[in-house]
Amino acid sequence: MHPSTPSHAHLIGPDGEEWEHLWQPHVVQSVLRQLGRAPSQSLGQNFLVDRNVLNRILQIASLRSCDHVLEIGAGLGVLTRALSAVTERVTAIEIDSAMASASRDATADRPNVRILQQDIRETELISVFRGVPRDQCHVVANLPYNISKVILRKFIVERRAIRSVTVMLQKEVAERMVARPATPAYGLIAVAYGLFGEPEIACSVSRNCFYPKPGVDSAVVRTNLSVHPRFSITDEDFFFRVVRAGFSQRRKTLLNSMQANLDVLHPRAGVRSADCSLTRDGLRERILNAGIDPERRAETLTTEEFATLTHHILRSGQGPT
């Protein structure tokens, strides 16, 4: 324990009964006073204080008694306790030492809960679920606002470790995650989740459901994740290079935006991909061969069209054009 952190062995009460009321604002405030802590803005600490939302998250996650769950940002343990009542195992990651200690107190009567005080950004998801069949591995979390985008990318990169994701996010990020082509919110994150899942916003959550109240509303998004892409791609890294190039200058046509970023089409070691001498005419030809109008904007392309475009750039990249 950090030397400046007070002992929390008897927070709330020795019988733990009041932990059941952690969704109530006055209980949250009481616990924080005992901790001698104010919610950390830098860590994105906004505590859920609405029991109906808590129950709704459990419904949306559709968990089974055999499932293992990873929670990110345990906070005071309100969601942790709820998850532990319906699943076989809950592992909660909490970077804040005081909150990790408090959540251990809150779940002391739950032998199927493990609280790890560490940074999720430095945690390998496969290590959390080691030895557990993938279809029993799920993420359910109220993600810290300040690192939500980083964590969403992590889920894609480490998707082989998890079957589903149910997360509460700031509403703007949730809308980007589920956005459709030709909409302002559509971008890289929507393409990525369109490649490996089919995310949906399951419910909206008012900012009034948190303490302290954040400046924005939230939403709960759920998706299953596939290990393999829903559309055929032979080089995942190159696929995302193509997508980034397309979105790099949203107001320009696909051809102009990609031409301005031809460096992302350079071959990687051991991979005969598009060559570095690709010209504007060569790029136009590849886009046309993919059945795409070069004058379209990247934001109008579906995930499947990006996959097709990537295939044609790679296939044509066997020599200079």
Contact yes or no for 101/8 (Cβ under 8 A): yes
Average pLDDT for runs of 10 along the chain of length 321: 41 53 88 90 91 97 98 96 97 96 94 98 97 98 93 98 98 98 97 98 98 96 98 94 94 94 60 58 93 98 97 67 38
Q: What is the pLDDT of residue 11?
A: 54
Backbone angles phi, psi at 119, to 5 degrees: -95, 120
pLDDT per residue as tens digits for the range 132-181: 999 999 999 999 888 999 999 999 999 999 999 999 999 999 999 999 99
- Can you give the pLDDT at residue 20? 74
pTM across the whole model: 0.89
**Domains and their CATH numbers in the chain:** 17-224 (3.40.50.150), 236-316 (1.10.8.100)
Q: DSSP state, 228?
A: S
Q: What separation in angstroms does the CA of 212 have from each of 74, 167, 209?
A: 16, 19, 9
pLDDT value at position 262? 79
Q: What is the 3-state secondary structure (H, E, C) of the chain?
A: CCCCCCCCCCCCCCCCHHHHHCCCHHHHHHHHHHHCCCCCCCCCCCEECCHHHHHHHHHHHCCCCCCEEEEECCCCCHHHHHHHCCCCEEEEECCCHHHHHHHHHHCCCCCCEEEECCCHHHCCHHHHCCCCCHHHEEEEEECCHHHHHHHHHHHHHCHHHCCEEEEEEEHHHHHHHHCCCCCCCCCHHHHHHHHHECCEEEEEECHHHEECCCCCCEEEEEEEECCCCCCCCCCHHHHHHHHHHHHCCCCCCHHHHHHCCHHHHCCCCCCCCCCCCCCHHHHHHHHHHCCCCCCCCHHHCCHHHHHHHHHHHHHHCCCCC
Q: What pLDDT does residue 316 have?
A: 61
Rounded distance between C-alpha atoms, residue 58 and residue 51, angstroms: 11
φ and ψ at 164, to 5 degrees? -145, 160
* CA–CA distance, 46 with 196 (Å, rounded to integer): 30
Phi, psi of 5, rounded to the nearest 5 degrees: -95, 125
